[in-house]
Amino acid sequence: MSSPSLTLANLASEYKFLLTHCPTGVLLVPTPNPLIFTGSIFLRRGAYQNSIYKFRVELPEGYNGPGKFPEVYFEGVVPFNPMVRPSDGFLDVESGFYFWNEGEMKDKCYLVSLLTYVKKVFYIKRFGLERDSVEIGILGCQEIDRGYFANMEAARLFVQDREEYDRRLMENVRESQEKVYEDGGSWKFFSRRGVEVKDLIKEGAKGDEILEVVKVCKKD
């Protein structure tokens, strides 16, 4: 089991690595608590095109040890997604990183991989739900009727009523745009009311104004 000082040293090293390897369009900012980060994701393509979502990353004591899963919570507007619990914004990280529970120290157990997974859930096209699919997908053999999904309603609509699923998703995207300036926290980036959402997304992908607090990745 790693000591608190070693954990903090490793986190500092991981965050430094993010300065050049962060997934595109994803921001992560430290807080006074070294085990908590705030983040945002700016989506420029796919089903969630032109949406902006904010999230919080909570790392447990002994992070990267056996059974020590990071926790991700979306804040403000919660994405309409089978992998995200609507009641509190909890993202199902365990389905993507099940090996953490087995204590396997693989190269995926780092902040950069966690953020890559956060981004990936917005681009999944199958969710492992197509019963006739030979592609296992990110959720392995998990089935909708066994209750594995964080948002069961979204999972059900994805399978049974894709038109309604798409409508709800688009409604959610619009809400993320309309409420982008609400609950901006300490982020100067989200305090500039009046800036067009499309311009925020472009800046979120480039990072001209907030390089002093976080490395914002280059355009998708």
Measured CA to CA, the distance from residue 172 to residue 58 in angstroms comes to 24
Question: Hey, what domains does the chain have and what are their CATH numbers?
Answer: 4-124+164-206 (3.10.110.10)
Confidence of residue 153 (pLDDT cuts 50, 70, 90): very high
Encode pLDDT of 42-84 as tens digits.
998 999 999 999 999 999 887 877 677 789 999 999 999 999 9
Measured CA to CA, the distance from residue 184 to residue 162 in angstroms comes to 33
- Which two tokens mark 174? 């619009």
Mean pLDDT over all residues of the chain? 74
How does 12-28 read in b/e, with b if 16+ C-beta sit within 10 Å? Answer: eebbeebeeebbebbbb
Better-scored residue on pLDDT, 134 or 160: 160
CA-to-CA separations, 69 to 61, 103, 109, 218, in angstroms, rounded: 10, 10, 9, 28
Better-scored residue on pLDDT, 9 or 114: 114
CB 36 within 8 A of CB 58: yes
Measured CA to CA, the distance from residue 104 to residue 107 in angstroms comes to 9
Mean pLDDT of 166-175: 97
Measured CA to CA, the distance from residue 81 to residue 170 in angstroms comes to 11
Burial class (CB in 10 A: 0-12, 13-18, 19+), 35: middle
DSSP notation for 17-81: HHHHHPPTTEEEEE-SSTTEEEEEEEE-SSTTTTEEEEEEEEPPTTTTSTT---EEEEESSPP--
